[in-house]
Amino acid sequence: MDRRYFIRACGLTSASLMVANQAFSEIISMSRGNSHIKPISGSWFEFSHTLDVEGKYWNDVLPKFTTEQWKAKVKEIRETGMEYLVLMAVANDGRTYYPSKLQPRYDFACPDPLEAVLSAADECGMKFFVSNDFWDKWSNTSKMMKDPSIAKLRAQGMEEVAEKYSHHKSFYGWYYPNESGLNNSIDELTLNYVNSCTKKAKELMPNSVNLIAPYGTKSMRPNEQYIKQLEKLDIDIIAYQDEIGVRKTQTGSAGKYFETLHTAHAKAGRSKIWADMEVFEFEKGVYTSALIPASFDRVLQQMEDISPFVDKILIYQYLGIMNKPGSVASAGHPNSGKLYTDYMNWLNGQK
């Protein structure tokens, strides 16, 4: 029996639980030294979660973080070997997470969280993809991608952010967070939005490396039409969501979707393919309850499944879902320390 399905097949009697625990130990043991499983290279990062119900375990904590705690959190993530951080938003719903002339700032204990995290990333050698949105309410996706007035505000925001922060060596590139979803193919809305963002990004920072992370991975049809659209999409990296956490894809099945996308990217000769791997699950209902850590058993299966087809694995997300035990900047679910420890035990076993 394939080991990835073994634990699921076990019953809940005490004997079968012993077997399940033994099976998990065997999974870890078998994966050690397996060079085909890529480690986690980076994570999404946020100053607050867009949905309070999902960010139940950290949204009340983050506004109280001091400058030193934000710096400590970045350095803590770097200790895991991760190299990249993807900032979800510089603004949301009419307020910013940094001092801006364009909108009022969120009332955080730290006067400039963006400066804090970029400074820490400079010190420890991390690379940030800095968001260029949300200059309206994050859920108004279509409006933010179409509305000329928001496009003008987004351009002004990018100019302001570049002026204030592009001197940081950790400012590696931009992340465009608005997602229309790739339903079968890359639609014209996505094409126009991404290409206009990249044009502005390159004007401001010619050497920037830019990233998107679309959903809809399962529904994509990487055929000739998709390849033609991909050739026209001006983006350096596409980190496709594996959609395990949101229960659109079953554990162990995402690899087949990434395999076909890998082939399409090779044919198009454009954009690196990375993964946006979900390391959370929902406490209760999907999108209606808190995000909590997945078991490392599941996470390891995800890593193994998609590793052959991507250059890098990023996760959504470290903050709130993983915490180093004893962290001075702890924020998240009580089980976040266990996921951290289980991952680090596996990672150290690869060395």
pLDDT at 139: 83
Report the DSSP beta bridge partners of residue 211.
175, 237
Closest CA to 309 of 251, 213, 245, 238: 238
Q: Three-state SS for 173?
A: strand
Residue 116's region, left for phi above 0, alpha for psi from -120 to 50, else beta, is alpha
Q: Three-state SS for 92?
A: strand
Question: Taking a C-beta distance cutoff of 8 angstroms, is the pair 134, 91 a contact?
Answer: yes
Report DSSP letters for 123-149, one per residue. Answer: HHT-EEEEE---SS-TT-HHHHHH-HH
**Distance separating alpha carbons of residues 246 and 287, to the nearest angstrom:** 8
**What's the distance, Cα to Cα, between the start and end of the chain in Å?**
28
With residue 70 as reference, give the H or E element that holds it.
Answer: helix 67-78
If you ran DSSP here, which 8-state letter would residue 320 be given? B
Please give the distance of CA 273 from its chain centroid, rounded to a whole number.
Answer: 14
Is the previous residue joined to 134 through a cis bond, with omega within 30 degrees of 0? yes
**Distance separating alpha carbons of residues 344 and 325, to the nearest angstrom:** 12
**Distance separating alpha carbons of residues 156 and 179, to the nearest angstrom:** 20
Q: Exposure of 2 by Cβ count < 10 A (0-12 exposed, 13-18 middle, 19+ buried)? A: exposed
Give mean pLDDT in consecutive 10-residue pieces for the chain, a chain of 351 residues.
Answer: 30 36 44 71 97 96 98 98 98 96 97 98 98 90 90 97 98 92 82 96 98 89 90 96 95 94 94 98 96 98 97 98 97 97 96 76
With tokens 């959609």, the residue in question is: 243
Residue-range domain boundaries for the chain: 1-31, 40-349
Q: Exposure of 53 by Cβ count < 10 A (0-12 exposed, 13-18 middle, 19+ buried)? A: middle
Strands 291-293 and 237-241: unpaired
Report DSSP letters for 96-110, one per residue. Answer: ESS--SSSPBP--SS
pLDDT at 180: 67
pLDDT at 5: 28
Q: Which two tokens stand for residue 351?
A: 């060395």
CATH architecture of the domain covering 40-349:
Alpha-Beta Barrel (3.20)
